[in-house]
A and B are shown apart, each in its own frame.
Chain A
Amino acid sequence: MRSWVGLFFAVIFFVTNARADDKEARDLFVRGGKLAEDAQWAEALATFEKSAAMRPHPVTTFNIGLCERALGHLIVARRTFARAASEDTTGKELPASIKGDIEAFTREIDASIAETRVTIAPADASIAVDGRPLEKDGEVWLAGTHAPGAGEPAPAASFALRLDPGPHTFIVTRKGFADAVVHPTFRPGVNAPLSLVVDALPGSLSIVSNVTNAAIRIDGVDVGLAPQTITRPAGTYTVALRKLGYAPYDTKVTLGPGGSARIDAPMKLESKPIYTRWWFWAGAAVIVAGAIVITYVATRPSPQRPPVAMGGLGWGLELP
């Protein structure tokens, strides 16, 4: 009920200092109070903010802080309570009880907010928390106080961050890298580290040739027939194309993260007739032998292995 002392004094304030333009502000203030009584904090917050825009007053600011505290926006609420205290320039606009509440709430919030040491890689990546960039507050950074917007460059490779307890969404971005999206949950008053690392984007390699169905090998591994578009992590690769009757084609290519490359492989006919190639006859022999073996294997029964002796106990122990 202490919280509503502010309402009471605010009403008295408005009554004793009535001006024409204060009427609407007063009505909004009273309405905000009723919404707060019904625990409709978001509506109450909006109403108090409208009242404050018409007629700023430390008590209204205090009530705004109450709503933000009730909504779990502890960092913002703490700042609002501090603002309410600073708006009382005469020292008479805020009753002693409200000043006491501000001190108590501030202590409570200080014990509840979470703090983490963020390590980010690469250090020049941008970071946003819950759709808002960070805001500097002395030696630390705050999450949730800045206006919504895109992420901004991280202040350092490692920095201290304060934020409300509970779940949050961190998005770290850098050109050429896939976004890093993490959803950590912070417990009240706990200080735990957080590591954010973005992964390098893969590159795209397109391989075409003047000859269709040339076999492509990348670092000795068959990947298919040209033309092909292949995705690989950033790095340097050896690309080879082979086709019977054509001279081999070999080259190297370097892919950057998120980048692309294209290889146009001109393959030239070999001058010798195929039947003069040793591999032609070796291949033919293999095919013939293979056909014989296949026929032999296809027509003979499957070989069997002798069963394991289980003894009179019917027990066979397999050594693992």
Chain B
Amino acid sequence: MKRWPLLALCFFGCSDSLPPYGQALVVVETDLSAPGVAGRLRVDTYAENGTWIESRDIARPDGRDWPASFGVFTKSEANRTLIVRLRAYPEGAVRDYLGERFADWPDLLAGKTNAGDGLPRWMVDNHDRTPMTEPDPLLTVDRLVRIRLVYGTQGRVRVMLRADCAGTMAKLPDQSCIDTPHARVTIADAVLEPSLDTPMPSVRLAPCENGTADPDDRACVTGGTTVLGDSRIRSWVGLAPFPPRIAQLSDFRMDRREVTVGRFRSAIAKGFLPPSVPTVNEGVLGTTPDDTACTWSASFKDREDYALVCVDVAAAQAFCAFEGGSLPTEAQWEYATTAAGRTLRVDYPWGDDVPTCERAVYGRTPLSGFPGVCEMLGKGPRPIAESSGDVTPLGIEGLGGGVAELVRDGYEEYTSDCWRDASVTDPTCEDTAKGHVARGGSWAAPPPVLRAVMRLGSKVERQPFVGFRCTYAAR
């Protein structure tokens, strides 16, 4: 170290330490569910002239891996500015990097992206180190941060990657979503807090654990973020669950079991007036997917513990309202089935294991060319108690088989205007001109229908294998 140039300064009583390099501790936090949605963090840094300096992709396999923090610094005594691009996304949600291919939300949803010119490139000592993939912008929270480094000054920059910004690509060099869905602003220099400590992650209490006893038949579902849909399924006899998107769900409660004949009858006894009556079947319960399998009867029969089917949306919605709730949205239904109470999203309510006849009620009759693979356990509709193995970690039963379930959303593709304009938080499409969607498998369904992302429709009302359950506010 060159001490001699400091002689004159130190003689007059300077401190024992040299000034710090201009540095910032970047602390990255997120309100995305981790690791289910925020499973990886991609960090790219750029000089002020746009030169790509560094790129790292870091796995965040545990929720406790957030917040993530790293340092940036300069030894130069001149002020320096850098741009940091932070992207949180689910594990595996990547696309090929063909250059910076900026696109707005509607174009991303519609699959309209430009071909890309391969630029910019990340060069290190004249070697091209550009990553071959980049996070899929539809499933990414993408944020730019501008950091000004001043020699002798150090501090902390806190960045929150909000679910509200999911699907809103940052636009280099300085346009980024901060906290408003589908909106970008010109970024300013980040605030440098006078601390180099990494804050502890915030702890969130479950919404239903505040001393209030939940009715035993309702599960408390803590809200969070999830991926709706599946990028692997591009076509389906119903509506394809593509393209996937990130959704943020508020807390809510959900019936642990489908609405039964008995429960519906009990509500009527309490004064509920349905706008329409479910299809009446006074005969023996049939085993084929027609009106003989409708479970409602005017008189009391031995089907009170069967799911109520052959009902239209108006009657189902009116019942839920009478009970203080509503039909679930598709997002609530899928979140409860695949993500609530879990760290990683799964394919079925019970996990990723393929369905078995013992676990869920399905395939109890031939349907649409598919054989009744589970007929040996009994044909036709079954009591809801036989769905006890078809259960989520939160104790919600029958989401995989039993009966398919009506939801509030209209029968629209995820690329429709309705879904394009849906919010990131509690998204829903209430355009029901083309009918409604039903979710989940049923006693009549073949195995592929049991995958939670599948979307059924449009003729789902008054079907002998479609019932419903209700959701409620968290408090």
Contact = CB atoms under 8 A, between A and B. Distances in A.
B11 A296 contact: yes
B25 A317 contact: no
A294 B11 CA distance: 9
A238 to B, nearest CB: 30
A223 B269 CA distance: 113
B16 A301 contact: yes
B70 A316 contact: yes
A317 B3 CA distance: 27
Given A297-B3, A304-B16, A305-B19, A317 B71 contact: yes
Interface string A299-319: 011111110111111111111
Interface residues of A, number: 27
A292 B70 CA distance: 44
Contact of A304 (B8, B17, B82): B17
A319 B3 contact: no
Interface string B29-46: 000000000000000010
Interface string B8-28: 101100111111110101110
A305 B74 contact: no
A225 B19 CA distance: 41
Contacts of A18: none
A315 B84 CA distance: 14
A319 B70 contact: no
Interface in B140-172: 149, 154
A71 interface: no
A300 B71 contact: no
A310 B70 contact: yes
A320 B236 CA distance: 51
B68 interface: yes
Contacts of A318: 73-75
A236 B149 CA distance: 49
A293 interface: yes
Secondary structure call for the A interface: loop
A293 B8 contact: yes
Contacts, number: 96
A297 B154 CA distance: 27
A282 to B, nearest CB: 16
Contacts of B154: 306, 309
B48 to A, nearest CB: 10
A309 B25 contact: yes
B98 interface: no
Interface string B68-94: 111111111000101000000000000
B149 A319 contact: yes
Contacts of B7: 290, 293-294, 297
B21 A305 contact: yes
B459 interface: no
B95 interface: no
B198 interface: yes
A304 B18 contact: yes
Given A304-B16, A317-B53, A311 B198 contact: yes
Nearest to B24: A309
A318 B24 CA distance: 11
B54 interface: yes
Interface string B57-77: 010000000011111111110
A296 B47 CA distance: 42
Interface in B180-224: 196, 198
B239 to A, nearest CB: 41
B376 interface: no
Contacts of B72: 316-317, 319
Contact of B69 (A293, A294, A296, A313): A313
B71 A315 contact: yes
B3 A302 contact: yes
B56 interface: yes
B6 interface: yes
Interface of B: 1, 3, 6-8, 10-11, 14-21, 23, 25-27, 45, 47, 53-54, 56, 58, 67-76, 80, 82, 149, 154, 196, 198
29 contacts: A293-B8, A293-B10, A293-B11, A294-B7, A297-B7, A303-B10, A303-B17, A304-B18, A305-B19, A306-B17, A306-B20, A306-B154, A308-B21, A308-B71, A309-B25, A309-B71, A309-B154, A311-B25, A313-B69, A315-B71, A316-B23, A317-B53, A317-B70, A317-B73, A318-B73, A318-B75, A319-B53, A319-B72, A319-B149
Interface of A: 289-290, 292-294, 296-297, 300-306, 308-320
Q: Which 10 A-B pairs have the closest CB atoms?
A: A311-B69, A305-B18, A319-B74, A316-B71, A315-B70, A311-B70, A306-B20, A309-B25, A313-B70, A309-B71
